Structure 1
Amino acid sequence: MRIVRMLRGAIVVAAALGLAACAALPTTGDVRPGLAAGQADTSSDVAYVPQGPSDGMDPEQIVRGFIDAASSPKDSWGIAREYLTSSAAQKWKPDVGVTIDASLSDRRYDAPTVAKGATAATVRLGLQQTANVDENGNYSGSAVSGSSELPFSLAKGADGQWRITSAPDGIVLDAQSFAAGDVFAPYALEYFDPTWTYLVPDVRWFPKRENTASRIVQSLVTGKPSPWLTNGVRTAFTGDVALARNTVTPVAQVAEVALTDAALSADAATLARMRTQLERSLADLGVQQVKLTVGGRDLNAGSASAASTTVDSRPLVLTDKGFGFLSDGEVTPVAGVSAELTSFPHPITAIRASSGAQRVVVQTADGVVYAVADGKVDEFDSRPGLAAPALDPFGYIWTVPQQTPQAITAWSTSITPRPITGPQDASQLTALAMSRDGSRLAMAVVVSGQIRVEVAAVTRDDRGAPTAIGPPSVVSWPPGPVADITWLDDTTVGVLTSDNNSTELLEQPVGGPKTTVAAPDGTRTVAPAPSLLTIRLLGGTGVLWVRSGPNWPQVSTNVKVLGVQLGG
């Protein structure tokens, strides 16, 4: 599911003087119909039109109005600029980022009383910052809210009206309004994995404006991947090819991207990869085709293939009836695997499966990790205290002792170990999961007594062999112990945790705010499905639940193990 659809919500606004916009909680929607020909999705579902300044407003009211108006990017934040002097309006850069605070009620305006006849004033906005978006669109959250202060300088004009002479660049949004995605929205810049097999999304937040397509293209062609992801991806835009025109305006679902003459020297494979990266990155704006041109001439670039990461619509389970795909109460076995797992000599506690479950990795109750394929069972790792294993699309099995997070091992199909240095500052690593493109490793770790979920890029050679993981990026701070993690889709990690004796599923986008979903008590395993709407959970009593809207209807019982599918 595309990231924009995943996080999109509706906003209900009260447009009263001095109050900032209020947004509804984000909800996950179903597959949305496509746009009509010639239509591009560049505006919010609900347009919020703030008020401009009124005569007689004091400095605090001006700053409040400015903060409120800055939540509308219409006409390049035209209404917000009315609160600025003409000089300040030209200098202010609203689209360089977002300061995200906990709530509107936590904001505090420090506005000293202005003496009669004064022509200058300073107002300070105090807030509890929970996250921010930087000038490149990268989202960063924090474990706890931190106090932050934004200063504003004001002057009284010849007409007797106060205006802001200096304001911090960027805008301020409360967490609820930001998550709704109606001012800044998430867009996935698409890169390739090191083998040019899979597309890897890099989520960025950009203002929802008429020129959003231009911002996406500029970031992809002339920018770089997020710092933590850099060593795990490749791009066809290597720096020699630049944009000949920065503006990209889709027409009839077609976007023309004008490149410099250097593109004439690019081979067919490179041009196809460029076009594919651009088309997939612009898809959420309704773009279906990208034309690469030089001097107005179409380069006739082809399309590069990208392997699928979609999992089977059927749950993969081990039951008393055997192992296989569950449908209508019946288990369809997998040749070369099901018989071996059904008669396995040791109780199985975890299953990770490749596409079609042709190769399965299992962990037994005594912690040993095995691989099963073509009727053959191979033992891989018997180190004590292993976390449940991970499997990547290139056939490597990832194992790590929970109490020795630095000692990650990636095992080839020939049972050859490749040592991978894990997170250096962690004292425990309780769970790990590999993204379906093999470029990102999610880990639940404990650092200085704090539980957190980190994601690190996987460095590989041209054949897909892993060589290292990069510096981790912290994406979540679960409220309690993590029972399981998995990749729910290409951008979202599912974290099964507990808080105050209740079980919760955190849907944590990599590069965005989380959504917390109540899960049935006793849930021990989370597994992906083709849609976030049909996530699968397994309880300790063998009950299998499949998400249906806000509910978790029971679909089966006596399930011993719920398999996690890699997809493809």
Structure 2
Amino acid sequence: MGADREGSARRRPVRAVAYAACGAVVLAGCASMPDSGDLRDVESTPRQDTQVRVFAMPPQQDASSTEIVQGFLEALTSDDPNYDTARKYLTKAAAKTWRPESQAMVLANGPSLQTDPRPAGREGTNSITYTLQGSRVATVDAQQAYTPADGSYRRTVHLTRDAKSGQWRIDSLPQGVVMGRSDFQRNYTSVDKYYFASDTSAGETGQPVAVADPVFVRSRVDPTTQLVRSLLSGPTTWLGPVVRSSFPTGTALKKGVSGLTPDDQNRLTVPLNVKASRIGSVKCGEMATQLLFTLRNLTPTVDSVALQSVNGAHMCDVSEEQAEATAWRASTKRPDYLYFLDGKHRLVRMATGGTGTGAVAVPGPFGAGTKLLRSVAVARDERTAAGVTGDGRSLYVSSLTSDGSLGDAVLTSHGATEDDRLTAPSWDARGDLWVADRDPAKPQLYMMAQGVGQPVAVQMPELDGRIKDVRVAADGVRIALVVEKDGKQSLLVGRVERTKSDDQQEVSVLELRSATPGSEEVTAMSWAGDSRLVVVGREQGGVQQTRYVQVDGSTPAGSAPAALTGVLEIAASEDDRVPLVARSKDDGIVRLPSGDQWQKVVKDGSAPVYPG
């Protein structure tokens, strides 16, 4: 529950705002209260500078019932670590049973307050009910996982007046907290925590594959300790079936530990409880790697992580270099080349770090033009490529290190038209190849082990619509799909589960969820980080835009890519140092270096891709 709302009351409580940069403490009403004139409700608490700390104010003596509710909602948007001030607005019994950490409900403009009509008499003077209303945007659950939501929000808050003190207090309320979107953006930040793919398959170097699990933590309430606790508690429910943690079950921070911060050598020491006492050096290194990947996502200045036993003994430590040698992570693997099809539909490439616009044909049949291609995908090791022929009918796999023959097609579609045939293919770090057949008579997603195995029909019991585009995550346990239904295209992310039955591999994509709620048309998409995608599309009644989205459906902090009209295809790398590349209807292949404007690469080209 929080500010960011349209209420019926005309007075608003005050709360302290501490400016860390200057050390001053001032009083401000809801952080957006005018300096003079009448006190009025505001629609939204403006975004605060990251140096501003907001502290809740306790209830004032003889505050009205409306002021109590308003003050309580304001207290929920403060930086009070344990919501101690918010509990002062509750009766003692309600304060004991209220669990603010159980859920955060995010509303478009915050909750509006409506007083429920009550009959006159004693009950009407000593008891009152308010209804909190608003439009739902998302929920963050007890695991700190974000889920988009829609529809209306309507919950009641009941107050009683103490017979002895005459003070109003809340004695019945919903569990969790509720606040408007701008207060949520000010109070919470999205961070990836890392686990390992649980399948026995490994990345291209034989290392365990790191998988990002995005969560939201309170950004100014000891976020480092929060994030460590979240990592130790295990993966979110959605990701849990396909990942593992190297931390033994029950591992937690040593009792009483809080305020974790790096030392002057940018090294963070993490004291653990007795559950982590009996582990080997390999397992300890994996644990420290999980922590370092996770913490660098929040605090990039952390250079190393050390684990400490419950009795204070040193267990192990890892540096960034050691962590990257322990586990494979897509965002640390810079691709050597950008690939695309030239005007003759041959596969060409150019160095990712180059400043020129020259591209050369790749070695092998795809570069020689043996088959005219429509779309391509290059394996993560950049030694193999897959290409769909110009008519969309056939999928071929070819080496990029030799001039050998092309061989037979590994998959053929029987769709009547080009748009009813094969999508662009996609590779994961295991070396497995994914593609969808859009044939209306037999639509199907396929996976081919190592790109040459027998196509495995992927089970998708929840799919409602036809797949138009496929991009598997590097970790091989998440997949992004553009799905069309009734003329609308949605971007969905699913969990990949692999099992073996009678020595036959079975693959399923389960629990599909929207990464772009509200979108009506998704034109193109690509993975652009460990848990981020770049999407070209438009919302209902809107114009085409290019933006970043998280796999959980949230919008990441930071600016969107520079505007570009007529985008037909887009390519990004998980490594954000590599330029974004697109195919524009008017300008052909273009790229966007960091902090720059779009630059032309070649007018006559198509299907730009990075490895993956």
Task: Report the counterpart of residue 602 of structure 2 in structure 1.
Answer: 557
Pick one of 232, 248, 269 that aligns with 2:282: 269
State the match for 1:352 in structure 2.
377
1:295 is aligned to 2:335: no
For the residue of structure 2 that corresponds to 1:74, the secondary structure is: coil
Aligned partner of 2:566 in structure 1 is 522
Q: Deviations over 1:4-63 (max 9, x none)?
A: xxxxxxxx94046654752349xxxxxxxxxxxxxxxxx943323455434454323321
| 1:77-119 per-position Cα deviation (integer Å, ceiling 9, x unaligned) | 3443332234433433223221011124x73423436857611
Shift of 1:447: 5.4
Change (3 A) 1:24 1:550: farther
Aligned to 1:4: none
Higher RCO structure (Cα 8 Å, ≥6 apart) = 1
- The 1:52/1:294 distance shift into structure 2, 3 A limit, reads closer
Q: Does 1:362 align with 2:407?
A: no
Describe the shift of the 1:533–1:504 C-alpha distance in structure 2 as closer, same or farther (beyond 3 A).
farther
CA distance in 2, matches of 1:114, 1:66: 25
Distance 1:531 1:98 in 2: 30
The two structures, once aligned, show a CA RMSD in angstroms of 3.3
Shift of 1:236: 0.8
Q: Equivalents in 2 of 1:246, 1:469: separation in Å? A: 41
* Distance in 2, Cα, partners of 1:490 & 1:434: 12
Q: 1:238 to 1:471 in 2, by over 3 A?
A: farther
C-alpha distance 146-313 of structure 1, shift in aligned 2 (>3 A): farther
Does residue 319 in structure 1 map to residue 319 in structure 2?
Answer: no
Q: Is the 8 A contact 1:198 1:437 kept in 2?
A: yes
Structure 1 residue 490 displacement after superposition: 0.7
Contact 1:381 1:399 in 2 (8 A): no
Secondary structure of the 1:227 match is coil
Aligned pairs, how many? Answer: 529
Query: Which position in structure 2 is the counterpart of 1:498?
Result: 538
Describe the shift of the 1:451–1:328 C-alpha distance in structure 2 as closer, same or farther (beyond 3 A).
closer
Q: Distance in 1 between matches of 2:443 and 2:99?
A: 43
- Counterpart in 2 of 1:328? 355
Please state if 1:282 is matched with 2:287.
no
2:193 to 184, 189, 193: 189
Deviation of the 1:202 alpha carbon: 0.3
- Within 1, Cα distance between the matches of 2:66 and 2:276? 53
Contact 1:228 / 1:456 at 8 angstroms: preserved in 2?
Answer: no
TM-score by length of 2: 0.77
CA contact (8 A) 1:231 1:470 kept: no
Match of 1:7 in 2: none
2:135 aligned partner: 128
Write the distance in 1 (CA, Å) between the matches of 2:254 and 2:104: 29
Q: Measure how far apart 1:70 and its partner are.
A: 0.9
Shift of 1:152: 0.9
2:356 maps to a residue whose letter is G
Matches within 5 A, 1:26-65: 44-65=50-71
Shifted more, 448-457 versus 392-401: the winner is 448-457
> Are 1:93 and 2:99 an aligned pair?
yes
- For residue 153 of structure 1, the aligned residue among 139, 155, 158 is 158
Identical-pair percentage: 20
- Offset of residue 167 of structure 1: 2.4
5+ long unaligned stretches in structure 2: 1-29, 416-420
Q: Give 1:135 deviation, angstroms.
A: 0.8
Query: Residues 517 and 553 of structure 2 are in contact (CA less than 8 Å); yes or no, is this contact kept in structure 1?
Result: no
Tell me which amino acid in the other structure corresponds to 1:537: A
CA contact (8 A) 1:478 1:497 kept: no
- Per the alignment, residue 25 of structure 2 pairs with none
Whether the 8 Å CA contact 1:232–1:440 is kept in 2: the answer is no
Farther-moved stretch of structure 1 (118-127 vs 163-172) = 163-172
What is the TM-score normalised by the length of structure 1? Answer: 0.82
Q: 1:334, CA displacement in angstroms?
A: 6.6
Matches of 2:593 and 2:445, distance apart in 1: 39
Shift of the alpha carbon at 1:440?
1.0
**AA partner of residue 153 (structure 2):** S
| 1:65-214 paired onto structure 2 within 5 Å | 65-104=71-110, 107-112=112-117, 115=120, 118-142=125-149, 145-157=150-162, 158-178=164-184, 180=185, 182-193=186-197, 194=199, 195=202, 196-214=207-225
> Is residue 228–residue 472 contact of structure 1 (8 Å, CA) maintained in 2?
no
- 1:31 corresponds in structure 2 to none
Q: Give 1:539's aligned residue.
A: 584
Partner Cα distance (1:450, 1:289) in 2:
47
Q: Which residue type is aligned with residue 435 of structure 1?
A: A
1:341 corresponds to which of 366, 376, 381 = 366
2:8 alignment partner in structure 1: none
Aligned match for 1:416, one of 454, 458, 462: 454
Name the CA distance, whole Å, in 1 between partners of 2:471 and 2:461.
14
Name the counterpart of 2:12.
none
Q: How does 1:371-450 map to 2 (within 5 A)?
A: 371-373=397-399, 374=401, 375-376=403-404, 377-378=406-407, 379-383=409-413, 384=415, 385-402=421-438, 403=440, 404-446=442-484
Name the CA distance, whole Å, in 1 between partners of 2:239 and 2:507: 15
Cα distance, 1:431 vs. partner?
Answer: 1.0
Instruction: Please state how far the C-alpha of 1:176 moved relative to its aligned partner.
Output: 3.2
In 2, Cα distance between equivalents of 1:423 and 1:519 = 37
Classify the secondary structure of the residue corresponding to 1:393: coil
Distance 1:507 1:552, change over 3 A: same
- The CA deviation string for residues 338-360 of structure 1, in whole angstroms up to 9 with x for no partner, is xx334324442222223463322
Q: Distance between the aligned counterparts of 2:429 and 2:274, measured in 1?
A: 37
**d(CA) in 2 for partners of 1:199 and 1:129?**
33
- Residues 335 and 448 of structure 1: CA distance in aligned 2, closer, same or farther (over 3 Å): closer
One-letter identity of the residue aligned with 1:371 = V
Tell which deviates more after alignment, 228-237 or 353-362. 353-362
Q: Does 1:489 align with 2:566?
A: no
Q: CA deviation at 1:519?
A: 4.5
Q: Do the aligned partners of residues 496 and 215 (structure 1) sit closer, same or farther apart at CA in structure 2, a change above 3 Å counting?
A: same
1:510 aligned partner: 551
Larger radius of gyration: 2
**Quick check: 1:506–1:517 contact (8 Å CA) kept in 2?**
yes
How far is the alpha carbon of 1:381 from its aligned partner? 1.7
Residue type at the aligned position of 2:32 = A
Structure 1 window deviating more from structure 2 (368-377 vs 258-267): it is 258-267
Question: Cα deviation per residue 1:261-317 (whole Å; 9 max; x = unaligned)?
Answer: 453432221111111112222231454423231422222355551224234386433
By how many angstroms is 1:133 displaced? 0.5
- Residue 127 of structure 1 aligns with an amino acid whose one-letter code is G
